[in-house]
Chains A and B, each alone.
Chain A
Amino acid sequence: MLNKTAFSSIGKRQPRSEDYRLLTGRGRYIDDIDISGALHACFVRSPYAHARILSIDGADAEDLPGVVGVFTGNDLSQWTTKLRMAPPIEGVKPLEMTTLPIDKVLFHGDLVACIVAEDRYLAEDAMELVDIDYEPLPPITDMFKALEDDSFLIDETLGTNLISQQSFATPDVHRIMSNGDKVIESTFSEHRQTHLPIETRGIIAQWDAGCEHLTVHVGNQATHPYRSALAARLRISESQLTVISPDVGGGFGQKIALYREELTVAALARYLNQPVRWREDRMENLMAASHAREDWVRTRTVVEADGRLKAMSLEIVEDFGGYCFYPANYLARVIAMILSGPYKLQHYAYDVKVVLTNKCGNGPMRAPMAITSWIMDGTIDNIARELGMDPVEVRRINMIREDEFPYQMATGETLEDINPFETMEKGLALIGYEKLRKQQKADQEQGIYRGIGICNVVESTTYGSKFYKSAGIPGSGHEAAWVRVEPSGAIIASVGISATGQGYETAFAQTVAEGLGVNAEDVSVQLGNTDVAPYGMGSRGARGGTAGGGTAYLAGQDAQKKVLAIAAKMLGLNTDEQLSMKGGKVWRRLDEDWSDTKLTLADVARIAYLDPTNLPQGMEPGIQIHKTYDPPSMTYSNSTHFCQVVVDVKTGAVCIERYLIVENCGTVINPLIVEGQQHGATIMGLSGTLFEQVIYDENGQNLTGSLADYLIPTATEVPDLEIVHMNTANKRTPAGIKGMAEGGVMGAIGALSNSVSDALLPFGIVIDKHPISPNVLRTLLREKE
């Protein structure tokens, strides 16, 4: 259990301060921002999966009244640089892309030209008049075929479609695997999905010719890295660029990279010297923003007779699409590094291949490593079936116990401050596991196919700089915050993380308040503007809590130190050791009792700014703290997910009867927000497993360009979630915070898949692919009938 610390703001079930504006329709999303005289951009997109662009004739379109121009890849290359994705990572091949394609398109929906007009209607009218000559090329839609020697190439300069490959093996693993023990093989594959933020991508770019300054409003999770990228590609200084991310209707990882459309709009605003705006429509978002997942995985395992893991190897082949907005090893490598999760495994090997195909480029989507826990717990279920053991027994015998932490995984990653055995046992007791198994047997005889799925999750969160380095991924994991107490005592804080709906303004206010000793309601948090916020690494990888909240907490603490030093002087004390801030007032300890000194933060702030000669000797005026912090390599959280389903074998429908999560996510900053994240993450995992699917046909045509075909669940399709907390603090982080918000996706995928396999055990069906749609289940069942 969490060490009882005397937190007063952290841990409070504080309603989200941003909700007032968001729920009363007063939020400001990109479309709510009025810019007079702004032109509208729209993009001509490729109808082919793979084709050479022979010519683009925009003359008729440009003749249409109200159309400002039709711009091509050649135009844009005058004003922007190429993206060169060439990280110094062994096994990753360098790639280049121009701002708009010049001679070749790589997927259905790829960019061909940009039209700028007085309004979007006219721009779309003009789109129909642009005359483009294509020479279709053979589409590469299957990653395994893409790896064949005679495959057509996405990028001829590479000489292969294998954009990245990395492998690893502990010294003895291959010897143990080939000792003659039976090798248990399991396969898993995830289909292609997309992030589906309710607010699609969008940008407004304004060039101030007098100041030579560009301001862009763009929904983005990481505004400073975005500013660095945009400035570099426009060949301007970062000091000439302000990036503002206003209220954002969801990101889920889709709004990190600088996209080609956004760069085009920014370059055109400068070239035309007129504001230009673009709102992506739903079809574009589904087909051409960024996709995720699509991988095939195989584990090969040898075990002792009692189910103990002796050695394991992992192969991953991932379909990355046609473009790399991230280093190609970015997603799959993490899966390989943290695979064994809560289980003891010292002999391990992996091989991770990432392949280019004619599809939309992939990017990190909430839990890029989502498949990890399904692979591991699915493999364990297969071992249990192979040995005729109860799946829980195989988990128990392999699990790292309390006295074995810190535990170093075969890959070198260290697990600590987690309690997987405890969360699993707690959950088993809560669902009444033994009784449920008996019930399951009895029901089977009545033709009711009930399944119990368990998934133990060790969630990698926060990603400090050290992890990036050891995973061979460029980037920093640091974060930055500032806290200012103004002369009136008003408190303003900022962190270099921009929000896309998570409630950061509330959570960060709570951590600042905790550090400074004030009420969270009195802290105003300003995010998402690069002129205001300090340079941080943005929102991703479940780092908001530890990196964002942690840095803000440290800044708050530093501010409190300064406040107390001034207060001591004001109170005529030699030392501030017996002083503390609470509720915005200075308190003094006399023996064991705390008493109110009647000094308020405002009193202290007034001296700090307006009467500096009364400050302690040598102290600088003002109360302005700037703090940066690089969190540990990784802060692991853990949870156990239980999913109980009934499969209707007649219709193939899966009904989730019960869903329980026992979770350890460290110090909880705000239970309300944490719960929301757990719900969102778990439902996102269930949704991907049951419904969502991007479908390309064999010609590379995307068939899921509308929400009638790309299915997401509504409130009627999701189960009630029971959540139980067994939190333990992280000993290395400020306030013991860990990350969360992605583990739910990991657990849901595994628990649901495992439960359906469990239900269909009498038919010999093991789920190794998604989505588990009624049509798919009926196909599997039909083969067995």
Chain B
Amino acid sequence: MKPGKFTYHAPENLHAANQLLAELGDDAKIIAGGQSLIPVMNLRLAQPDHLIDINGISELAGIHQENGLFTLGCLTRHADVETSPLLMDKFPLLPAAAKRIGHLAIRNRGTIGGSLCNADPAAEWPLIAILLDAHLSIQSSGGERHTPAKEFIQSVYTVDLGADEILTTVAFPPLARGEGWAVNQICRRTGDFALVSVAVTLKLDRQGHIERLRLCLGSMDVTPFRLIDVEQAARGKIPDKAWIHEMAGIAFDAGSPESDMHASAQYRREMAAHLTSEVLTEALGRCRAGT
């Protein structure tokens, strides 16, 4: 379990990193936290000839509130999100999600950019980015482009990223005032990748009718996905027990989960239903506490 031979590069700024990528093309890989890349290199499932270490590029780290968005540099560690006073105060959903990633040692190194580029269908950040319609900024030597998370994450371990592109920032639009939320998952052990995860946001109007629902399921398909039709149909409804039950039934039928040694597709469906009802109840509690 030793990686193959590679050349190590540590560019000092984004521009230099982009140039290296443009030069080396497919033979190069970016390394951020290394928490996904290093294991596959040790197993020789990935054998890049060049590693471009972006950890020294300070402009890629940091959490900011700007233009009404919460912008996280791609090098922001899971643990930085988990412990950020700004986010804990203004956007507690993000620390709550970060806390569920692996173990502390992994959160200390792993980055939000790495997680999104890795696009594991069971991972936290793809789930949350799709739930919240995060905008991603992507830089190449040719310039910058922006893309919504939903379009960036294409399939299992597959993202819309050219060989010379670097994901630089992830911007989350904040929740509305009084908007409730909840994230939950089923794992074999604390810190494992989720067998199923469900995240939700819920906004009620003054009369207690649903104004906006966002419901995102993870590990139930090749990428996390939102139930857009259901979200729209929910508008104006009263979120009572019967409605939650109905939503759980919808989650049961959603996606096309796979069977593996830890969970059958059927088990995943049952847990999607179970978690949907749990997170909706929890989010409703937050809505009511907030108003």
Mostly, the B contact residues are loop
Residues A713 and B189 in contact, CB atoms below 8 Å apart? yes
Measured in the bound complex, the distance between the Cα atoms of B192 and A713 in whole Å is 11
Q: Which of chain B's residues have a CB closer than 8 A to the CB of A561?
A: none
Measured in the bound complex, the distance between the Cα atoms of B170 and A408 in whole Å is 73
Residues A124 and B2 in contact, CB atoms below 8 Å apart? yes
Q: A711-B188, A713-B189, A778-B270 are in contact. Are A282 and B2 (CB under 8 A)?
A: no
Residues B2 and A120 in contact, CB atoms below 8 Å apart? yes
The winner among B4, B263, B267, B271 for most chain A CB atoms within 10 A is: B267
Instruction: Looking at the assembled complex, report how far the CB atom of A774 sits from the nearest CB atom of chain B, in whole angstroms.
Output: 7
Residues A775 and B190 in contact, CB atoms below 8 Å apart? no
Measured in the bound complex, the distance between the Cα atoms of B39 and A282 in whole Å is 12
Q: A704-B261, A709-B261 are in contact. Are A714 and B5 (CB under 8 A)?
A: no
Q: Which of chain A's residues have a CB closer than 8 A to the CB of B176?
A: none
Q: Which of chain A's residues have a CB closer than 8 A to the CB of B267?
A: 652, 774-775, 778-779
Task: State whether the Cβ of B264 lies closer than 8 Å to any Cβ in chain A.
Answer: yes
Task: State whether the Cβ of A125 lies closer than 8 Å to any Cβ in chain B.
Answer: yes
Instruction: Looking at the assembled complex, report how far the CB atom of B157 sits from the nearest CB atom of chain A, in whole angstroms.
Output: 15
The 0/1 profile, CB within 8 Å of B marked 1, for residues 674-701 of chain A is: 0000000000000000010001000000
Q: Which of chain A's residues have a CB closer than 8 A to the CB of B274?
A: 650-651
Task: State whether the Cβ of A175 lies closer than 8 Å to any Cβ in chain B.
Answer: no
Residues A121 and B261 in contact, CB atoms below 8 Å apart? no
Measured in the bound complex, the distance between the Cα atoms of B40 and A283 in whole Å is 13
Task: State whether the Cβ of B177 lies closer than 8 Å to any Cβ in chain A.
Answer: no
Measured in the bound complex, the distance between the Cα atoms of B132 and A262 in whole Å is 55
Nearest residue in B to A40 (C-beta to C-beta)? B2
Measured in the bound complex, the distance between the Cα atoms of B35 and A708 in whole Å is 13
Instruction: Looking at the assembled complex, report how far the CB atom of B187 sits from the nearest CB atom of chain A, in whole angstroms.
Output: 10
Nearest residue in A to B4 (C-beta to C-beta)? A125
Instruction: Looking at the assembled complex, report how far the CB atom of B191 sits from the nearest CB atom of chain A, in whole angstroms.
Output: 7
Residues B264 and A779 in contact, CB atoms below 8 Å apart? yes
Task: State whether the Cβ of B44 lies closer than 8 Å to any Cβ in chain A.
Answer: yes
Task: State whether the Cβ of A103 lies closer than 8 Å to any Cβ in chain B.
Answer: no
Q: Which of chain B's residues have a CB closer than 8 A to the CB of A774?
A: 186, 188, 263, 267
Q: Which of chain B's residues have a CB closer than 8 A to the CB of A695?
A: 261
Q: A124-B44, A691-B188 are in contact. Are A282 and B264 (CB under 8 A)?
A: no
Task: State whether the Cβ of A404 lies closer than 8 Å to any Cβ in chain B.
Answer: no
Q: Which of chain A's residues have a CB closer than 8 A to the CB of B1?
A: 124, 281-283
Nearest residue in A to B103 (C-beta to C-beta)? A714
Task: State whether the Cβ of A782 lies closer than 8 Å to any Cβ in chain B.
Answer: yes
Q: Which of chain B's residues have a CB closer than 8 A to the CB of A717?
A: 189-190
Instruction: Looking at the assembled complex, report how far the CB atom of A417 sits from the nearest CB atom of chain B, in whole angstroms.
Output: 40
Residues B189 and A775 in contact, CB atoms below 8 Å apart? no
Q: Which of chain A's residues have a CB closer than 8 A to the CB of B271?
A: 651
Task: State whether the Cβ of B206 lies closer than 8 Å to any Cβ in chain A.
Answer: no
Task: State whether the Cβ of A178 lies closer than 8 Å to any Cβ in chain B.
Answer: no
Q: A124-B44, A704-B261, A774-B267 are in contact. Are A711 and B189 (CB under 8 A)?
A: yes
Instruction: Looking at the assembled complex, report how far the CB atom of A261 sits from the nearest CB atom of chain B, in whole angstroms.
Output: 15
Nearest residue in A to B42 (C-beta to C-beta)? A281
Instruction: Looking at the assembled complex, report how far the CB atom of A153 sits from the nearest CB atom of chain B, in whole angstroms.
Output: 29
Residues A651 and B264 in contact, CB atoms below 8 Å apart? no
The 0/1 profile, CB within 8 Å of A marked 1, for residues 1-23 of chain B is: 11111000000000000000000
Instruction: Looking at the assembled complex, report how far the CB atom of B180 sits from the nearest CB atom of chain A, in whole angstroms.
Output: 23
The 0/1 profile, CB within 8 Å of B marked 1, for residues 376-395 of chain A is: 00000000000000000000
Measured in the bound complex, the distance between the Cα atoms of B186 and A650 in whole Å is 12
Q: Which of chain B's residues have a CB closer than 8 A to the CB of A779?
A: 264, 266-267
Q: Which of A764-785 contact B (CB under 8 A)?
A: 773-775, 778-779, 782
Instruction: Looking at the assembled complex, report how far the CB atom of B35 sits from the nearest CB atom of chain A, in whole angstroms.
Output: 12
Residues B5 and A125 in contact, CB atoms below 8 Å apart? yes
Residues B189 and A691 in contact, CB atoms below 8 Å apart? yes
Measured in the bound complex, the distance between the Cα atoms of B270 and A691 in whole Å is 21
Q: Which of chain A's residues have a CB closer than 8 A to the CB of B3?
A: 121
Instruction: Looking at the assembled complex, report how far the CB atom of A479 sits from the nearest CB atom of chain B, in whole angstroms.
Output: 38
Task: State whether the Cβ of A703 lies closer than 8 Å to any Cβ in chain B.
Answer: yes
The 0/1 profile, CB within 8 Å of A marked 1, for residues 180-205 of chain B is: 00000010111111000000000000
Task: State whether the Cβ of A5 lies closer than 8 Å to any Cβ in chain B.
Answer: no
Q: Which of A732-767 contact B (CB under 8 A)?
A: none
Task: State whether the Cβ of A617 lies closer than 8 Å to any Cβ in chain B.
Answer: no
Measured in the bound complex, the distance between the Cα atoms of B263 and A283 in whole Å is 22
The 0/1 profile, CB within 8 Å of B marked 1, for residues 97-130 of chain A is: 0000000000000000000000011001100100
Residues A651 and B186 in contact, CB atoms below 8 Å apart? yes
Residues A121 and B2 in contact, CB atoms below 8 Å apart? yes
Task: State whether the Cβ of A716 lies closer than 8 Å to any Cβ in chain B.
Answer: yes
Interface size on A, residues (CB 8 A): 28
Residues B264 and A775 in contact, CB atoms below 8 Å apart? yes
Instruction: Looking at the assembled complex, report how far the CB atom of A332 sits from the nearest CB atom of chain B, in whole angstroms.
Output: 27
Instruction: Looking at the assembled complex, report how far the CB atom of B107 sits from the nearest CB atom of chain A, in whole angstroms.
Output: 15
Q: Which of chain A's residues have a CB closer than 8 A to the CB of B189?
A: 691, 711, 713-714, 716-717
Residues A714 and B263 in contact, CB atoms below 8 Å apart? no
The 0/1 profile, CB within 8 Å of A marked 1, for residues 89-111 of chain B is: 00000000000000100000000
Measured in the bound complex, the distance between the Cα atoms of B47 and A121 in whole Å is 13
Q: Which of B27-48 contact A (CB under 8 A)?
A: 43-44
Instruction: Looking at the assembled complex, report how far the CB atom of B269 sits from the nearest CB atom of chain A, in whole angstroms.
Output: 11
Nearest residue in A to B270 (C-beta to C-beta)? A778
Residues A714 and B191 in contact, CB atoms below 8 Å apart? yes
Measured in the bound complex, the distance between the Cα atoms of B261 and A121 in whole Å is 32
Measured in the bound complex, the distance between the Cα atoms of B5 and A124 in whole Å is 10
Q: Which of chain B's residues have a CB closer than 8 A to the CB of A704?
A: 261
Measured in the bound complex, the distance between the Cα atoms of B191 and A486 in whole Å is 53
Q: Which of chain B's residues have a CB closer than 8 A to the CB of A714?
A: 103, 189-191
Instruction: Looking at the assembled complex, report how far the CB atom of B281 sits from the nearest CB atom of chain A, in whole angstroms.
Output: 14
The 0/1 profile, CB within 8 Å of B marked 1, for residues 469-486 of chain A is: 000000000000000000
Nearest residue in B to A690 (C-beta to C-beta)? B188
Measured in the bound complex, the distance between the Cα atoms of B2 and A50 in whole Å is 27
Q: Which of chain B's residues have a CB closer than 8 A to the CB of A709?
A: 261-262
Contact partner of B262 (CB less than 8 A), chosen from A120, A650, A775, A778, is A775
Residues A773 and B2 in contact, CB atoms below 8 Å apart? no
Measured in the bound complex, the distance between the Cα atoms of B271 and A651 in whole Å is 7
Q: Which of chain A's residues have a CB closer than 8 A to the CB of B4?
A: 124-125
Q: Which of chain B's residues have a CB closer than 8 A to the CB of A773?
A: 188, 262
The 0/1 profile, CB within 8 Å of A marked 1, for residues 266-281 of chain B is: 1100110010000000
Q: Which of A150-195 contact B (CB under 8 A)?
A: none
Q: Which of chain B's residues have a CB closer than 8 A to the CB of A125?
A: 4-5
Measured in the bound complex, the distance between the Cα atoms of B2 and A68 in whole Å is 18
Q: Which of chain B's residues have a CB closer than 8 A to the CB of A281?
A: 1
Q: Which of chain B's residues have a CB closer than 8 A to the CB of A703?
A: 261
Nearest residue in A to B277 (C-beta to C-beta)? A650
Residues A121 and B5 in contact, CB atoms below 8 Å apart? yes
Measured in the bound complex, the distance between the Cα atoms of B192 and A120 in whole Å is 30
Q: Which of chain B's residues have a CB closer than 8 A to the CB of A713?
A: 189
Measured in the bound complex, the distance between the Cα atoms of B190 and A716 in whole Å is 7
Instruction: Looking at the assembled complex, report how far the CB atom of B13 sits from the nearest CB atom of chain A, in whole angstroms.
Output: 31
Instruction: Looking at the assembled complex, report how far the CB atom of A558 sits from the nearest CB atom of chain B, in whole angstroms.
Output: 50
Nearest residue in B to A648 (C-beta to C-beta)? B274
Measured in the bound complex, the distance between the Cα atoms of B189 and A774 in whole Å is 11
Q: Which of chain B's residues have a CB closer than 8 A to the CB of A282?
A: 1
Q: Which of chain B's residues have a CB closer than 8 A to the CB of A691?
A: 188-189
Measured in the bound complex, the distance between the Cα atoms of B188 and A711 in whole Å is 8
Measured in the bound complex, the distance between the Cα atoms of B1 and A592 in whole Å is 69
Q: Report which A residues bind B (CB closer than 8 A).
A: 120-121, 124-125, 128, 281-283, 650-652, 691, 695, 703-704, 708-709, 711, 713-714, 716-717, 773-775, 778-779, 782
Q: Report which B residues bind A (CB closer than 8 A).
A: 1-5, 43-44, 103, 186, 188-193, 261-264, 266-267, 270-271, 274
Q: What are 10 residue pairs bridging A and B, where the CB atoms are less than 8 Å apart in the complex?
A: A121-B5, A124-B44, A125-B5, A283-B43, A708-B193, A711-B188, A713-B189, A717-B190, A773-B188, A774-B188
Given contacts A691-B189, A708-B192, A775-B264, 7 further A-B contacts (CB under 8 A): A650-B270, A651-B271, A651-B274, A691-B188, A711-B188, A711-B192, A716-B190
9 A-B pairs with the lowest CB-CB distances in the bound complex, closest first: A281-B1, A716-B190, A121-B2, A775-B267, A124-B2, A775-B263, A778-B267, A717-B189, A120-B2
